[in-house]
Chain A
Amino acid sequence: MDTITLFKAKKIITMNPRQPVADYVAVRDGIILGTGSLDSLAGWGDYEIDNQFADKVILPGFIEGHCHSWEGAAWEDTYVGFLDRTSPTREVHPGLKSIGSVVEKLKKANHTLTDPTTPVKGWGLDPIFFERRVTCADLDQISTTRPVVVIHQSGHIINVNSYVLDKAGIDGNTDVDGLVTDGHGELTGELMGIALYQTALKAIGMNSILDMGENAERSLWWFANSAQIAGVTTVTDLASELSPEMVTVQQSLAALDSYPIRVVPAFMGQMVPSNEGVEKMLNLKKQSTPKLQLGLVKLIVDGSIQGFTARLKTPGYYNGAPNGLWYVDPTELPSIIEAYHSAGLQIHIHTNGDEATEEALDAIEQVLKVHPDSDARFTLQHCQMAHDAHFKRMARLGVCANLFANHLYYWGDQHYETTMGPERAARMDAANSAGRLGVNYSIHSDAPVTHLSPLFTAWCGVNRRTYSGRILGEPECISVQEALHAVTLGAAFTLKLDSELGSIECGKRADFTILEDDPLTIDPMKLKDITVWGTVLDGRVFPVSEIGRNMN
């Protein structure tokens, strides 16, 4: 019989309502035997006490219910975002507060390159924070002899230097949509839309922004390390094409004891005809393992609010912008949902605007009438504009919400001033209403769109502060306890993993987040600043300080 380890902690926050806090947790073979006092755990048999967490706080391992493996690959390039960000190698990259500092950082990156054809690539640019847009003239300061490409925070827009425009044959006479010009009709090098995007990338020999290529393994390690630094033990990858090559890499990593995360990839269900998608996912589901959970399907209904591509109901955008885009034909949505649902596959649906949310709920309701399932756990991802009526319907239909709490901080001011206006900005990502009306909810980062840190996400849900310090809709603030539930058990429920994960209680997997401070007693405004010591996955300890040692 395997040894029993009793981890002693300053405090164990269990999320088990019958025993909310404890001093010890007993683990055998990666499985939790229970929490409590030495006395209450002694009956399991011989044990060893592990004191390394004696002055630390243990929580159920954080579960990031919506992020992307691109979080790892992104760090192949230079981060030029506005807010501070920690790399998977634990370097802190201070936020760049001016276009000048973006240029300076990319200049440094340029100096490290030896091959004259290698592009200088930046990511995370968010010109919404600057007084003007970035131009070719800015990026030409970095180089005029090699490509310079900077991907915006949204992932949907890129800026390039003149070299790329020349190579791609794009000039002021090019008659396509999405070419941004300045006040004098000059191209600024800002490119939007699939045609410009792909043409520019091709001109510099790149296939796709998301193509990890030969670096797939390193990227997935970095993804894992980003998660580990944030105290996350289970991540989603929402969504993936799940190509056979990518699945093979993920399987080989998951098989390593040293790989510190559990991964739940979702398949982009609308990328192929539904019958093909169903077949593919039913096959993959059979290959599911505890560390690589396969079978989840994701659908995307609309775009993003800050990009004005979310579908809104009347009266639409506060600044009068036209309504956003459907990413799937709303009249086709029921049949796509039906195909996956009736095959027994779980579906998460991206909806940002309230029109998209209603459309998804209509479709789900329609499908459930034909294929009743009281535990399908459809989950609306982002679901940022849902109001009470939507949450009531969701509760009735058994639909979960995963709310984009980080948005409140990152773009809350823009939502208040431009996209939604004050009243609707106050109800964005309305976690308190979701909970009050009986909807199981989680909160998320959508990393790399915002930074991966459930403590920060919890801070957003609790405080609802924007970047400028404005509080958006105080009645929607949730308690720290509720926020911690959302990033543990709440997220586990949306993934149908709550019988194995999400709380520290007998029979569940020994996945823990180890913190230096107690989130339940600290000033809630300091929640995001708590140091993560490390994680435990299946009983194995992963200190943040050792990151990098396990990498091949």
Chain B
Amino acid sequence: MKATSLHKSSKPPQVPMTIIGGFLGTGKTTLLNHVLSHSIGIRYGVMVNDFGSLAIDESLVAAHNGDTISFANGCVCCAMGDNLVASIDKLLASAHRPEHFLVEVSGVANPKALADVATLHPELSRDLIVTLVDAATVGERLSDPRLRDTIMMQLAPADLIVLNKCDLANEDQLQEIQHNLTAHHKGKLVRTINARLPDDVLSQKSLQPSQVHDGIESDTISNIKTSWTHDPEAQFHRATLDLPESMDSEVLTALLRKHQPTLLRAKGFVNNKMGQRVSIQLSGKRVDISPSHYSPPDTDTHNPEHETPAILVVIGLDSLDRFRDEVLGVNNMVDEGATRNQRNSV
């Protein structure tokens, strides 16, 4: 096997951890089973801290060579219960090292508390916090003083709110719920039935450049191609952007941060200021930059033509027009800035 990129990391990549929260009956397990049965080529480590009536289909996990563990209620008391970190380490050290962790937390847990585990763990990266609510019951629950603050606690850190069981409410009711849920915080909301989220929402690895470029002509100035799809069921917008080589990771990071409220995930490759290709990822509110792990096909690795293409795949819940437009505008400025910098440094 040939040497790949010069910048390839010697450490194994961090394993993303997605946290799935929400009350019992909101569809957390349904969502997990759906993801497991639809995603191909990802080895999931599934951790369950909820003992509801519906069980995780372990055969689905096994089918991906993954592992399932249920952990005892660590949220009851930090000192009691299974050591969650130890359980994670066990899976990481196993022959079936997961490529992605999915954690289903208990019905009254604050999903942020579990996401923090990923933030602190050197081998994990904190992925999305997804909080489910049940369209049929959330109205009643929000007006119940026993439950309201717990629901709000679960919604507050959510990168994605899944308003599930939308078939059990009418449009007026859905509008009202949606208004209530989004009034207090900036999370992004998607409506679902049977918790059917597109495969690329829960896993960064599934986020792939669109195969279909749907006819929007590439812009002659910026060389950005866009492909807009609107999933009628899940309301996601996607774009695959071919970035010009002049775009650097700092500018792209700033843009992703700025447009974070619109974006759910982004994954791409771009040069840093040193001219090294890096991988850049946005999940929820986090932007991570890491050495490019892309392994180009054989042939000369130094040939720029075989470098990872400068590309960005984005998925969001709102129109991505403004993001695209700004990338266009900034690109022009960046071009100039980059040129000036180059001149200065010579």
> Which residues of chain A have a CB within 8 Å of any CB of chain B?
155-156, 168-170, 174-178, 192-199, 201-202, 207-210, 241, 268, 270-274, 300, 311, 314, 322-323, 325-332, 355, 359
B119 CB-CB contact with A under 8 Å: yes
A43 CA to B89 CA, complexed, in Å: 69
| B246 CB-CB contact with A under 8 Å | no
From 78 to 136 in chain B, residues with beta carbon under 8 angstroms from any chain A beta carbon are 78-81, 83-86, 89, 106-108, 112-114, 116-117, 119-122
Q: Is the CB of A270 within 8 A of B73?
A: yes
Q: Is B74's beta carbon under 8 Å from chain A?
A: yes
Residues of B within 8 A of A300 (CB): 76-77
Interface contact A332-B117, CB-CB below 8 Å:
no
- Whole-angstrom CA separation of A311 from B116 in the bound complex: 24
User: B79 to A329, Cβ gap below 8 A?
Assistant: no
Chain A residues touching B, majority SS? loop
Known: A194-B75, A199-B85. A168 touches B120 (CB 8 A): yes
Closest to A335 in B: B53
B24 touches A195 (CB 8 A): no
B113 and A270 form a contact (CB under 8 A): no
B contact residues around A270 at 8 Å (CB) = 51, 73, 76
Residue in contact with A314 in the complex, picked from B89, B107, B113, B145, CB distance below 8 Å = B145
A329:B51 contact, CB within 8 angstroms: no
Supply 14 further A-B pairs (C-beta < 8 A) apart from A194-B117, A198-B84.
A194-B84, A194-B114, A195-B119, A199-B121, A241-B72, A268-B72, A300-B77, A322-B149, A327-B75, A327-B76, A327-B108, A328-B76, A331-B24, A332-B52
Q: How far, in whole Å, are A175 and B73 apart by their CA atoms in the complex?
A: 24
Question: Chain B: which residue is nearest A356 at the CB level?
Answer: B146
Given A197-B78, A326-B150, A169 contacting B23 (CB threshold 8 A) = no
Known: A197-B78, A300-B76, A330-B147. A170 touches B120 (CB 8 A): yes
Give B61 Cβ to nearest chain A Cβ, in Å.
17
User: Are B122 and A271 in contact, with the CB atoms below 8 A?
Assistant: no
Given contacts A155-B79, A194-B84, A331-B24, whether A271 and B116 have CB atoms under 8 Å apart is no
Interface size class of B (residues with CB under 8 A): 35 or more
Chain B residues with CB below 8 A from A241, complex form? 72, 80-81
Determine if A323 and B149 form an interchain contact, defined as CB atoms under 8 angstroms apart: yes
- Complex Cα gap A325–B85 (Å): 22
Known: A177-B116, A198-B85, A207-B83. A193 touches B108 (CB 8 A): no
CB-CB under 8 A from A210, the residues of chain B are 79-80
Say whether, besides A168-B120, A329-B23, A329-B106, A156 and B113 are in contact (CB < 8 Å).
no
In the complex, what distance in Å separates the CA atom of A374 from the CA atom of B326? 71
In the assembled complex, 30 residue pairs joining A and B whose CB atoms fall closer than 8 Å, in A order, are A155-B78, A155-B79, A156-B77, A175-B119, A177-B113, A178-B116, A194-B75, A194-B114, A194-B116, A197-B79, A198-B86, A199-B117, A202-B89, A207-B83, A208-B83, A268-B76, A271-B76, A271-B81, A272-B72, A274-B51, A300-B77, A326-B108, A328-B76, A328-B108, A329-B23, A329-B107, A331-B23, A331-B147, A332-B24, A359-B146
A329, B116: Cα distance in complex, Å? 22
Would A202 and B51 count as touching, CB distance under 8 A?
Answer: no
B23 cross-chain contacts in A, Cβ below 8 A: 329, 331
In the complex, what's the smallest C-beta–C-beta distance from B37 to chain A, in angstroms? 22
Kindly report which residue of chain B lies nearest to residue A271, judged by CB atoms. Answer: B72
List residues of chain B with CB within 8 A of the CB of A274.
51
Smallest Cβ-Cβ distance to B84: which chain A residue: A198
Question: B216-246 interface mask toward A, CB cutoff 8 Å, 1 = contact, 0 = none?
Answer: 0000000000000000000000000000000
Cα–Cα, bound, A537→B95 (Å): 53
Are the C-beta atoms of B86 and A271 separated by less than 8 Å? no
CA distance A274 to B79 in the complex (A): 22
Chain A residues, CB < 8 A from B149: 322-323
A325 to B119, alpha carbons, bound, how many Å?
Answer: 23
4 closest residue pairs by CB, A with B: A195-B116, A176-B116, A271-B72, A273-B51
CB distance from A509 to the nearest CB of B (A): 31
Chain B residue with the shortest CB-CB distance to A313? B145
Contacts of A198 in B (CB 8 A): 78, 83-86, 117
- Complex Cα distance, B106 from A332, in Å, reads 11
Q: A198-B84, A322-B149 are in contact. Are A329 and B78 (CB under 8 A)?
A: no
User: Is B147's CB under 8 angstroms from A156's CB?
Assistant: no
B117 neighbours in A (Cβ, 8 Å): 194-195, 198-199
Residues of A within 8 A of B150 (CB): 325-326
Q: A355 vs B81: C-alpha distance in the bound complex, in angstroms? A: 25
Q: In whole angstroms, how far apart are the Cα atoms of A208 and B77 in the complex? A: 11
- B146 near A330: Cβ-Cβ < 8 Å: yes
Interchain CB contact under 8 A, B147 and A194: no
Cβ contact within 8 Å between A268 and B79: no
**Min CB gap B242→A, angstroms:** 32
Closest to A324 in B: B149
Residue of A nearest to B149 (CB): A323
Contact yes or no, A169 B84, CB < 8 A:
no
CB contacts (< 8 Å) of A272 on chain B: these are: 51, 72
Asked if B85 and A202 sit within 8 Å, CB to CB, the answer is: yes
A193 touches B51 (CB 8 A): no
- A202: chain B residues within 8 A (beta carbon): 83, 85-86, 89
Interface flags, B130-169, vs A, CB<8A=1, else 0: 0000000000000001110110000000000000000000
Question: Which interface residue of A194, A196, A198, A274 has the most chain B CB atoms within 10 A?
Answer: A194
In Å, the complex CA distance between A454 and B117 comes to 40
Q: How far is the CB of B290 from chain A (nearest CB, A)?
A: 17
Residue of B nearest to A157 (CB): B78
The chain A residue with its CB closest to the CB of B23 is A329
Question: Which residues of chain B have C-beta atoms less than 8 A from A268's C-beta?
Answer: 72-73, 76, 80-81
CA distance A170 to B86 in the complex (A): 18
- Is A155 in contact with B116, judged by CB distance below 8 angstroms? no
Report the separation of the CA atoms of residues A177 and B112 in the bound assembly, to the nearest whole angstrom. 8
Q: Are B85 and A329 in contact (CB under 8 A)?
A: no
CA distance A279 to B114 in the complex (A): 29
- Among residues of B, the one whose C-beta sits closest to the C-beta of A210 is B79
Residues of A within 8 Å of B106, CB to CB, are 329
Instruction: List residues of chain B with CB within 8 A of the CB of A174.
Output: 119-120
**Docked complex Cα distance between A322 and B114 (Å):** 21
User: Complex: how many Å from CA A366 to CA B203?
Assistant: 42
Instruction: Indicate if the CB atoms of B80 and A194 lie closer than 8 Å.
Output: no
Task: Please give the distance in Å from B52's CB to the nearest CB on chain A.
Answer: 8
Distance, CA A480 to CA B84, complexed state (A): 46
Which residues does chain A contribute within 8 Å of B77, judged by CB atoms? 155-156, 300, 327
A332 / chain B contacts, CB cutoff of 8 Å = 24, 52, 107
Chain A residues near B52: list those with CB within 8 A.
332
Contact A195 B114 (CB under 8 A): yes
Bound-complex Cα distance A196 to B75 (A): 13
Residue in chain A with minimal CB distance to B285: A175
Whether the pair B116, A193 counts as a contact (CB closer than 8 A) is: yes
